[in-house]
């Protein structure tokens, strides 16, 4: 069977515009949260978010580095983040200059949970206030979710599968899993896989706040607002950014002497068939998704050293933990589980990809990233290593990443170090 490995990484997050800066800040227990600066949020219930920082910030994002200014003007920020992260991943993998035969076997699977909400909002206002003749001709293709994959394929000449997953907050994980299957099934030798999101705009914040999903009680203490598993958790903090990985067929990577970060060995998917936003109280869907990934990997829970939890800082955290406990049994004693959403917020469709990259870096550096703000663990967290407050060195041979989305959609990925 064709094996799939990871050979390149790219990140744009609220804690850095590249992989190493973000990771350094994650390990230093920094928070990317702050008051919303992208628009006047004074009339919103939620006034905080984890924004990608502007170019002049210590770890800000400079869109001009990899994205043509003309494209920047035409598309929503999630596409700009995605193009940049994809470029980083290709550069990291040493795959920026491809011959024609390689291009035909290289594709994209970069999705988003929501897509171009800020642009939909602003152009709707143009339509309402100034009429249809003033709506931008770039409106549609500047907002569509599959346009990261589209733009990236055009920029780098990638002519293989061109795909984009839309499964809310499990988009990033599904994107990686689907792309790995495309390589395994011989549709491609190389796939750029990941997700991006940027919905910190008035309608985005208002919509999630009205759905009672956002934290609205820590507006004066933004850095403490995302607190997975903590008793005082009260909803997620919206993040933004992108994560993109280069997935590559193992022999292909080996033949060109590529740096190999990890192997994608397990991918599980399931549906809750329960409720549009609330998790099944038994988290049966999450349990089946994790179990399926383990089965595919041919592993037992004891083989997993680190779990990057979905852990959004909502009531669902402990329900997820319950499902993990049910699946892991005695192996719960040896696994570490944390939520990096405590530091960068919830990147929605980007989350699964960004967090998979953190999992890979945890294996590379043999260190597990922390769950910030976990001052008083909730009932049900007893006896679980949730890596409170500070990162910790430990052996990390294999990792599990969970992502769950509105609609009751679940994805679990297992990756392991390669000998």
Residue 131 touches another protein, criterion: CB under 8 A: no
Q: Which residue in 43, 56, 58, 70 binds another protein (CB under 8 A)?
A: 70
Contact residue for another protein among 29, 44, 122, 136 (CB under 8 A): 136
Of residues 163, 174, 310, 359, which has the active-site annotation?
310
* Residue 310 annotated in active site: yes
Per CB under 8 A, 138 contacts another protein: yes
- Least distance between another protein and beta carbon 110 (Å): 22
Decide if 346 is catalytic.
Answer: yes
Binding flag, residue 137, another protein (CB under 8 A): yes
State in angstroms the smallest separation of the CB of 123 from another protein: 13
How many residues bind another protein, per CB under 8 A? 9
The interface region with another protein, picked from 4-12, 130-138, 220-228, 346-354 by CB under 8 A, is 130-138
Q: Does residue 257 bind another protein (CB under 8 A)?
A: no
HEC string for the chain: CCCEEEEEEEEEECCECCHHHHHHHHHCCCCCCEECCCCCCCCCCCCEEECCCCCCCCCCCCHHHCCCHHHHHHCCHHHHHHHHHHHHHHHHHCCCCCCHHHHHCEEEEEECCCCCHHHHHHHHHHHHHHCHHHCCCCCCCCCCCCHHHHHHHHHHCCCCCEECCCCHHHHHHHHHHHHHHHHHCCCCCEEEEEEEECCCCHHHHHHHHHCCCECCCCCCCHHHCCCCCECCCCCECEECEEEEEEEEEHHHHHHCCCCCCEEEEEEEEEECCCCCCCCCCCCHHHHHHHHHHHHHHCCCHHHCCEEECCCCCCCHHHHHHHHHHHHHHHHHHCCEEECCHHHHCECHHHHHHHHHHHHHHHHHHCEECCECCCCCECCCCCCCECCECCCEECCCCEEEEEEEECCCEEEEEEEECCC
Q: Does 29 bind another protein (CB under 8 A)?
A: no
Q: How far is the CB of 138 from another protein (least distance, A)?
A: 6
Question: Does residue 169 have an active-site annotation?
Answer: yes
x/- mask, another protein, residues 341-380, rule CB under 8 A, reads ----------------------------------------
Q: Give the interface segment with another protein, choosing from 64-72, 145-153, 155-163, 326-334 (CB under 8 A).
A: 64-72
The catalytically annotated residue of 169, 201, 359, 381 is 169
Which positions touch another protein (CB under 8 A)? Answer: 68-70, 73, 133-134, 136-138
**Catalytic residue numbers, as ranges:** 169, 310, 346
């Amino acid at each position: 069977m064709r094996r799939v490995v990871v050979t390149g990484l790219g990140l744009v997050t609220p804690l850095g515009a590249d992989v190493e800066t973000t990771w350094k800040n994650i390990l230093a227990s920094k928070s990317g949260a702050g008051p919303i600066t992208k628009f006047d949020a004074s009339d919103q219930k939620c006034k905080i978010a984890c924004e990608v920082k502007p170019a002049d910030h210590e770890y800000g994002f400079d869109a001009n580095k990899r994205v043509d200014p003309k494209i920047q003007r035409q598309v929503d920020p999630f596409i700009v983040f995605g193009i940049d992260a994809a470029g980083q991943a290709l550069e990291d993998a040493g795959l920026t200059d491809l011959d024609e035969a390689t291009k035909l076997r290289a594709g994209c699977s970069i999705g988003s949970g929501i897509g171009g909400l800020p642009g939909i909002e602003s152009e709707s206002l143009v339509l309402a206030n100034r009429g249809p003749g003033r709506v931008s001709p770039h409106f549609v293709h500047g907002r569509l979710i599959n346009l990261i994959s589209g733009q990236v394929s055009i920029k780098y000449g990638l002519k293989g599968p061109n795909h984009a997953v839309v499964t809310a907050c499990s988009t990033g994980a599904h994107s990686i899993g689907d792309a790995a299957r495309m390589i395994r099934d011989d549709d491609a030798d190389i796939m750029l896989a990941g997700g991006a999101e940027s919905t910190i705009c008035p309608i985005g914040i208002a919509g999630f706040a009205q759905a009672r999903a956002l934290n609205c009680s820590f507006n004066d203490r933004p850095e403490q607002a995302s607190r997975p598993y903590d008793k005082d958790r009260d909803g997620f903090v919206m993040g933004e950014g992108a994560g993109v990985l280069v997935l590559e067929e193992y022999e292909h990577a080996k033949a060109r002497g590529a740096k190999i970060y990890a192997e994608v060995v397990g991918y599980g998917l399931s549906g809750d068939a329960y409720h549009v936003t609330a998790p099944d109280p038994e988290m049966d869907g999450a349990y089946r998704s994790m179990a399926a990934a383990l089965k595919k990997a041919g592993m037992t829970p004891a083989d997993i050293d680190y779990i990057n939890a979905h852990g959004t800082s909502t009531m669902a955290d402990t329900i997820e933990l319950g499902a993990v406990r049910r699946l892991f049994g005695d192996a719960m004693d040896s696994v570490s589980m944390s939520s990096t959403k405590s530091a960068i917020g919830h990147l929605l469709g980007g989350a699964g990809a960004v967090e998979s990259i953190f999992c890979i870096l945890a294996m590379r550096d043999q260190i597990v990233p922390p769950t910030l703000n976990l001052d008083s663990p909730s009932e049900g967290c007893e006896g679980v290593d949730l890596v409170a407050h500070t990162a910790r060195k430990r052996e990390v041979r294999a990792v599990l990443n969970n992502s769950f989305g509105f609609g009751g959609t679940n994805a679990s990925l297992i990756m392991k170090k390669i000998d």
